[in-house]
Structure 1
C-alpha cells in the first residue's frame, strides 16, 4: 500500500493503450472518469512537490500532474506495462536542478 498516489486520467485513446498492455483490470473510476493510480512514497511526494510548483493533493493523498508530467508518466506506464513505475519515473519527472542558475552550488563560484 502506498502513502500517496498520482491519478492518471484516461481519455478513450489512452484507455485503449492501457487495455492493450494488459492493465485494464487496474482502471478505476475517479470523479466519474476512468483513471489509473500510481502509488508513491512520501519521499517521491516531496520530490514532486519541489518539481511541480503548486501541485496539490486531495483528501485521498492523490494528485494530478500537469500535462507534460502526466504524458511522461503515461508513456512510462505503457513502456513498462506496469503501474509500479515510480522508482524509474521519479528520475524522469523530478529535476533537482530546476530553477537554479548555472552559477549555483557546486561551481566554486567560477
Structure 2
C-alpha cells in the first residue's frame, strides 16, 4: 500500500481510453466520480510538490495533478497498461532544474 496518491478523474473520453487499453478493472469511484488512483512514496510526493507549485494533498493523502502533468501520467499509464508507474513517471513529471538559472547548474561559468 502506498503512502500518497494521485487521483486522476476520468471523463468519458479518458474512460474510453482506459477501456480500450483493458484497464477498466483499475477504475474506482472517488467522491462519486470515476477515477484511477496512482500510488507513490513519500519521496515521490516531495518531488511532485517541488515540481508543481501549489500542489496540495487532501486528508486522504491524495492530489490531482495540473493538466500537463496529468496528460503525461495518463500516457504513461496507457503505454505501460498499469497504475504501478511512479518509478518511471517521476522522471517525466519532475525536473529538478526547473526554475534555476544557468549559474545554478554547477558549471561555474568555465
TM-score (norm: length of structure 2): 0.96
Q: Describe how 1:74-89 pairs up with structure 2 within 5 A.
A: 74-89=74-89
Unaligned runs of 5+ in 2: none
Does 1:2 pair with 2:2? Answer: yes
1:57 alignment partner in structure 2? 57
| Map of 1:106 onto structure 2 | 106
1:51-104 Cα offsets, whole Å, 9 max, x none, are 001100001100000000001000100011000000000000000000100111
Q: What is the root-mean-square deviation of aligned Cα atoms in Å?
A: 0.9
Structure 1 portions without partners, runs of 5+: none
Deviant stretches of 4+, over 6 Å: none
Structure 1 position 9, deviation (Å): 0.8
Residues 22-41 of structure 1: pairs in structure 2 closer than 5 A: 22-41=22-41
User: Once the 2 structures are TM-superposed, how far is the Cα of residue 36 of structure 1 from its aligned partner?
Assistant: 0.3
Match of 1:19 in 2: 19
Cα distance in 2, alignment partners of residues 65 and 105 from structure 1: 27
List per-residue Cα deviations over 1:41-60 (Å, max 9, x = no partner).
00000000000011000011
Given the two structures, how large is their TM-score scaled by the length of structure 1?
0.96
Aligned residues: 110
